[in-house]
């Protein structure tokens, strides 16, 4: 298997959106996806996020989507919104390639660290992140307002 990772481009967004929907199905939440390919393209053009893709035979099989946030305590932080590997390709080190690329992007852009969320029932993902020495937070509660 010949897997490569690279910075994503506008042309990749339709394939990326298919992975987003696959993740939503995995997380039992497809009905909550209201984003569209067109909105993702517009937001990418407006530099609201960036991403890496993993490819095998020119097919997108993985994604790490991230953006920057600012902490009054820590400064510039990279927030990894999603890391997704298509189900058929999981277990081949593709998530590690994408995660490592994202960690490197955080270093290259002078971030003080990275943040992300993981579902507590996603045991394989929790185990994956533990290998990196990830600190899991038990104090903070996620809050959302939808418009």
pLDDT digits over 90-138, tens only?
999 999 999 999 999 999 999 999 999 998 888 999 999 999 999 999 8
CA gap 100, 82 in Å, rounded: 14
What's this model's pTM, rounded to 2 decimal places? 0.92
Tell me the sheet residues that pair with 6. Answer: 53
Burial class (CB in 10 A: 0-12, 13-18, 19+), 54: buried
Using a pLDDT cut of 70, give the percent of the chain over it. Answer: 100
């Amino acid at each position: 298997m010949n897997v490569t990772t690279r910075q994503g481009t506008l042309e990749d967004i339709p394939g990326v959106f298919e992975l987003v929907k696959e993740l939503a199905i995995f997380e039992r939440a497809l009905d909550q996806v209201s984003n569209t390919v067109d909105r993702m393209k517009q937001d990418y053009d407006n530099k609201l996020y960036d991403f890496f893709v993993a490819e095998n035979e020119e097919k997108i099989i993985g994604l790490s989507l991230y953006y920057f946030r600012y902490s009054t305590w820590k400064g510039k932080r990279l927030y990894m919104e999603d890391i997704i590997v298509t189900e058929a390709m999981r277990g081949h080190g593709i998530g590690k390639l994408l995660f490592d690329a994202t960690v490197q992007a955080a270093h290259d852009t002078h971030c003080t660290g990275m943040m992300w969320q993981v579902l507590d029932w996603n045991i394989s993902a929790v185990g994956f992140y533990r290998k990196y020495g990830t600190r899991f937070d038990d104090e903070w509660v996620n809050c959302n307002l939808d418009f």
